[in-house]
Amino acid sequence: MGVAPGRRGALMPLVDLLLALSVPVMWGLGLTVAKAAISADFPPILLMALRFALAGAVLVWFVRPPPARLMGRIFLITVLGATIQYSLTFTGLAGLDASTAGIVIQLEVPFAAALAALLLKDRLGWRRTLGMAVAFAGVAVIAGEPRFQGDLAPLLMVVGGAFTWSLAQVAIKTLGRVGGFTLVAWTAVFAAPQLFVASWLFEDGQVAAITHAGTLVWSAVVYLGVIMTGLGYAVWYHLLGRHRVNQVMPFLLLLPLVTAVSGVLLLGERLSVATLAGGALVIAGVAVIVLTRGPTRAPLPAPD
């Protein structure tokens, strides 16, 4: 996405700075909101299906359809980068604190850097390699907590979700010039029916869950579909259209912080020493990858 002439290197106006700060807040709160709905015994894959059904219904009217020749490839990418990814991530979230999941999801960045180097021949460099090692070390510290001994499945599901998202980003690079917001809208359109099928295959009690869902669950669906996915991406692509990627991407480092704080304040979660230490390592590693100078392939950030 291009940058307006004369704006390279310019400081962000106050309005854009506030908008940039709003993105990690909207996306970081989303994981906490989803955790609250899942904790109310609502099936996580079904929650994602409703989220994308609403997002697609809202967004598809504001974008042009992608070229017909790309529809099949976008559908297949959606299977990997939406249906499988969100099923893994949010099923894993059911067994994790939102704050812990918010940290582990940051592995999307080192996974994306590694896959871009392997499959797209991007130059990794020693700084990004070091950042990757530090980020993975942080997750290892978290995984070593006593509460995960004997049951790493939820943590590994979130790690798997981060990996599948990153793999999908490599596939997205092969599509050529498809507008980011168009891709978000049509991903939602394709993902919703896929996720309903996935919920039917892997979950049960959907009818009872929808029938007995209260204000908390439906508020979560609206927040995830309209605010997190719709408004969040609208602001994100507005900023990418006005500023360099390297100016905007660092704001996403606030995502795990927002999720951790909101998890503590809204869900009563407690952050262990291991979570804090591991989280610091993950964020430091991701920061090295994001802030290292070099040719930038801006990944499509997952709102999660």
In this prediction, residues 145-166 reach a mean pLDDT of 87
In this prediction, residues 49-75 reach a mean pLDDT of 91
Beta strands in 56-144 (DSSP E): none
Beta strands in the chain (DSSP E): none
pLDDT tens-digit series, residues 187-235: 999 999 999 999 999 999 999 999 999 999 999 999 999 999 999 888 9
Residue 164, exposed/middle/buried by CB under 10 A (0-12, 13-18, 19+)? Answer: buried
What DSSP line would sit under 205-226, residue for residue? -HHHHHHH--HHHHHHHHIIII
- The distance of Cα 153 from the centroid of its chain, to the nearest Å, equals 20
Res. 70 pLDDT band, cuts 50 70 90: confident
Q: Is residue 1 part of a domain?
A: no
Cβ of 251: how many Cβ atoms within 10 Å?
A: 20
Cα angle, residue 37 at apex, residues 46 and 93 outer, rounded to 5°: 75
**260 vs 14, 16, 94, 266, 276, CA distance in Å?**
26, 25, 16, 10, 10
Q: Is residue 23 part of a domain?
A: yes
How many residues would you count in the chain?
Answer: 304
- What pLDDT score does 294 carry? 58
Q: Give the chain's radius of gyration (CA, Å).
A: 18
pLDDT at 139 over 70: yes
By residue range, what is the domain housing residue 157? 14-291
Number of domains forming the structure of the chain: 1
Res. 88 pLDDT band, cuts 50 70 90: very high
The first and second tokens of residue 3, run together, are: 């940058």
Residue 174 gets which letter from DSSP? Answer: T
pLDDT at 6 over 50: no
Q: Is residue 232 part of a domain?
A: yes
- What pLDDT score does 303 carry? 58
The first and second tokens of residue 113, run together, are: 């850097």
Mean pLDDT of the chain: 87
Q: How far apart are CA 261 and CA 267, in angstroms?
A: 10
Q: Is residue 8 part of a domain?
A: no
Residue 10 gets which letter from DSSP? Answer: P
Res. 151 pLDDT band, cuts 50 70 90: confident
Q: Is residue 297 part of a domain?
A: no
The first and second tokens of residue 231, run together, are: 């408004």
pTM: 0.89
User: Is residue 180 within 8 Å of residue 129, measured between CB atoms?
Assistant: no
Q: Is residue 302 part of a domain?
A: no
- What pLDDT score does 146 carry? 76
Q: Is residue 244 part of a domain?
A: yes
**81 vs 187, 192, 207, 273, 299, CA distance in Å?**
9, 13, 27, 32, 12
User: Is residue 50 within 8 Å of residue 193, measured between CB atoms?
Assistant: no
Query: Measuring CA to CA, which residue among 266, 298, 297 is closest to residue 102?
Result: 266
Res. 248 pLDDT band, cuts 50 70 90: confident
The first and second tokens of residue 8, run together, are: 């390279």
- What pLDDT score does 222 carry? 97
Q: Is residue 303 part of a domain?
A: no
